[in-house]
Structure 1
Amino acid sequence: MTSTNTAMTPERIVGDLIDAAAPDGEQMLQVGQVAKVLGVTDRAVLYLLQDNRLGYIRTGKRGYRIPRPLLAEYLLQGFIPRQLTAAEQLLAETRQAVKEATDKLAALAARIAAAEATLALVDGTDAIPHRGRSTQTVP
């Protein structure tokens, strides 16, 4: 449970994720620890390292260590765009709903105008009389 002092910011969430994989405060994480943080396999982490999408320090011929700040930076780069993508999706859905509602209103207005025209023809008048209070005085 979080208090008002510890707001769940993206930085805090990322820090908690990394702390779960390296609880003793290690500054250099192994490939397996990074895989645990990201929820992927060790091989997927190695692909990230090979593609230079995640910074690392080489330790020997096949050894890698990922500095905690570089992992946090990588996670934060993906955190904000995902939220933005979700917000853009919601905005697109809302715009679509507004467009559909506007189209329904336009169709309803057309039906009302057609009904008024039909009533005017049946009554023999040019327009539907106003149904408000009369401004004429009765003698």
Structure 2
Amino acid sequence: MTSANTATTPEQIVGDLIDAAAPDGEQMLQVGQVAKVLGVTDRAVLYLLQDNRLGYIRTGRRGYRIPRPLLAEYLLQGFIPRQLTAAEQQLAETQQAIQEANDELATLTARITAAEATLALVDGVDTPPRRRRSTQTVP
């Protein structure tokens, strides 16, 4: 077991949590031990088992044993760095969408500029000057 100050990776932290509940290196944990690791009641652990959110092995009619690797996997799924990875992926996708929108905007701006230049040529060459209306009144 590493000390709390030296545990740096999520795997080490989870390993330390499990070792605190099962210091003998047991590979199969009881519901009470898992509850201690998770900081919840035995009933809450049973709900996790019934919802198949935490893997287990059934021992008898009412007995459950949770394998150490399955508990570690469950704990690591909820670890914050995993959530940060998902957020970073979403950020990258958003940045990609912004880049695509900027590219499309640049294309449209170029088309508008070309159309305005074409209209300026047409207006300057082919159109006769407009006559002004007289503002004088005729008697």
TM-score of the aligned structures, taking structure 2 as reference length: 0.55
Residue-by-residue CA offset, 1:39-79 (whole Å, 9 max, x unaligned)? 00000000000000000000000000000000000000001
2:62 match: secondary structure: coil
Which aligned segments of 4 or more residues in structure 1 are displaced greater than 3 angstroms? 80-83
Where do 5+ consecutive residues of structure 2 fail to align? 92-139
Q: Does 1:55 align with 2:55?
A: yes
Matches within 5 A, 1:62-81: 62-80=62-80
Distance 1:7 1:33 in 2: 21
2:65 match: secondary structure: strand
- Give, in angstroms, the shift of residue 82 of structure 1: 7.1
Distance 1:81 1:12 in 2: 14
Q: Which residue of 2 aligns with 1:41?
A: 41
Where do 5+ consecutive residues of structure 1 fail to align? 92-139
Q: Does 1:20 align with 2:11?
A: no
Q: Which residue of 2 aligns with 1:10?
A: 10
**Number of residue equivalences:** 86
In the superposition, relative to structure 1, how do residues 46 and 81 fare at CA in structure 2: closer, same or farther (>3 Å)? farther
1:37 match: secondary structure: helix
In the superposition, relative to structure 1, how do residues 61 and 10 fare at CA in structure 2: closer, same or farther (>3 Å)? same
Identity %: 93
TM-score of the aligned structures, taking structure 1 as reference length: 0.55
Counterpart of 1:55, as a letter, is: G
Tell me the C-alpha RMSD between the 2 structures.
2.5
